Amino acid sequence: MAGKFENQVVMITGAASGFGKLAAQRFGAEGARLALSDISKDALDTLANALRQDGCEVLTDIVDVSQEAQMQAHVDHIKTTYGALNVAINNAGMGHDLKPLHMLSVDEFDRNMAVNARGVFLGMKAQIPMMLQAGSGVILNVASAAGLVGAAHLSAYAAAKHAVVGLTRAAADETARKGIRVNALCPSFAVTPLFDEMADQVGARTGQSRENAYDQITARIPMARVAQPDEIVQAMLWMCAAENSFMTGQAVALDGGLTAV
């Protein structure tokens, strides 16, 4: 039986780890022809080789999403190789050390904005012309619950993710009549290496174990737990699927109720 994304070209940035890696595996299992990028060559090559062994068609490029020439070259590579771009998932992102806004350096702020916000802007800037030419396409930008509410000690990250939500809504408004859907996914904490790093930072600052730091971080979440990565990626699959044909311009929170209170 054909997968939901059979023969569709799916582009995923930040594909070598976390949500991006699992998304590549899940979309590949659904028949997608994959275009994957990351800044980590070894991790990306390892993933691509494993996917090819599973029968997936995979194109890869090393891309710093904050650099326009690299992003455009990647999309051009997709065009020359596959001739189409059906789904684009702008997933690449980064965090920063937990600290009050007034203690953040300008370099930390600028790097977060460059990767998390400009990276999404440059992705859509390169992706939309291909989709306009085809008359259809789906773009999913990975934002964060921190892009919907305040996030103490993560101000640069929160600012960048708020920008992602704004870019998503503007792009959706511009392209809805041209067959393109653009949405944002806003997860809160999930079991990923980034969450482990955050827990370690909290633990170091407060003298707690990682396990106790986990408890402190999740205390604000009404469901009293963090997400499993597959819960986030299943939402990606649904948001990009043909069955979800009437959603555009939305910032969908997957956060265990965090932004509901």
* pLDDT of 1 higher than 60: no
Facing residues of 117 across strands? none
Instruction: Say yes or no: 198 and 70 in one domain.
Output: no
- Looking at residue 174, what is its pLDDT? 98
User: Percentage helix, strand, coil, to 5, in the chain?
Assistant: 50, 15, 35
- Looking at residue 203, what is its pLDDT? 63
CA distance 213 to 29: 35
Within-domain flag for 204: yes
- Looking at residue 197, what is its pLDDT? 73
Within-domain flag for 4: no
Which tens digit of pLDDT belongs to each residue from 213-254? Answer: 777 778 888 998 889 999 999 999 999 999 999 999 999 999
- Looking at residue 226, what is its pLDDT? 87
DSSP conformational letter for 227: B
Range 230-236 contact pairs with CB under 8 angstroms and sequence separation of 24 or more: 230/22, 230/26, 231/190, 232/19, 232/185, 232/187, 232/190, 233/19, 233/22, 233/23, 233/26, 234/26, 235/185, 236/19, 236/23, 236/26, 236/89, 236/140, 236/185
Instruction: Say yes or no: 126 and 222 in one domain.
Output: no
- Looking at residue 215, what is its pLDDT? 78
Total structural domains in the chain? 2
Which tens digit of pLDDT belongs to each residue from 3-35? Answer: 999 999 999 999 999 999 999 999 999 999 999
Task: Report, as residue numbers or ranges, the catalytic residues.
Answer: 157
Instruction: Say yes or no: 65 and 118 in one domain.
Output: yes
Instruction: Say yes or no: 40 and 156 in one domain.
Output: yes
- Looking at residue 93, what is its pLDDT? 94
Return the closest-CA partner of residue 126 out of 196, 84, 68, 42. 68
Residue span of the structural domain in which 211 resides: 189-226
DSSP conformational letter for 5: T
* pLDDT of 201 higher than 90: no
Which tens digit of pLDDT belongs to each residue from 48-74? Answer: 999 999 999 999 999 999 999 999 999
pLDDT grade for 202, boundaries at 50, 70 and 90: low
- Looking at residue 255, what is its pLDDT? 93
What predicted TM-score, i.e. pTM, was given to this entire model?
0.94
- Looking at residue 41, what is its pLDDT? 96
- Contact by Cβ (8 Å): 249, 177: no
Instruction: Say yes or no: 93 and 167 in one domain.
Output: yes
CA distance 212 to 40: 31
Which tens digit of pLDDT belongs to each residue from 134-176? Answer: 999 999 999 999 999 998 889 999 999 999 999 999 999 999 9
What is the rounded end-to-end Cα distance, in angstroms, of the chain? 43
Within-domain flag for 1: no
- Looking at residue 211, what is its pLDDT? 72
Which tens digit of pLDDT belongs to each residue from 93-126? Answer: 998 888 999 999 999 999 999 999 999 999 999 9
Within-domain flag for 3: no
Grouping H, G, I as helix, E, B as strand and the rest as coil, residue 131 is helix
- Contact by Cβ (8 Å): 156, 95: no
- Contact by Cβ (8 Å): 217, 190: no
- Looking at residue 25, what is its pLDDT? 98
